[in-house]
Amino acid sequence: MASVIRERWGRVDIETFLTHLAVKRHVSASTQNQAKSALLYLCREVLEIELPWLDNVTQVNVPKRFPVVLSVSLYWPGYLAMHWLLLCSMAAVCA
């Protein structure tokens, strides 16, 4: 089986598959990276084929994420409400 795959799989096949995931299937970046890692593992460890040329694969665009920072006026009411609920639950348990 390994020899059949070695003969049939080529650079274009693997690059086309990974690009297909990004362009046609609209998978997330982590899904595409997982598929790429699985193919690399299969080829290197099982089939003993080196794939140094996987740089021509179209990568999924990773959305930029900005950290959410709460202002003091938004933080304290939430903190006090959670603290109050914790004290009430502790009082109910201890009573």
Domain of residue 90 covers 2-62+69-94
Q: What is the pTM of this model?
A: 0.52
Q: Is 16 helix (H, G, I), strand (E, B) or coil?
A: helix
Residue 24's pLDDT is 87
CATH number, residue 54: 1.10.150
Q: Do the beta carbons of residue 46 and residue 57 sit within 8 Å?
A: no
Number of domains in the chain: 1
Q: What is the pLDDT of residues 28-69, one digit of tens each?
A: 888 888 888 888 888 788 878 777 766 666 666 767 777 777
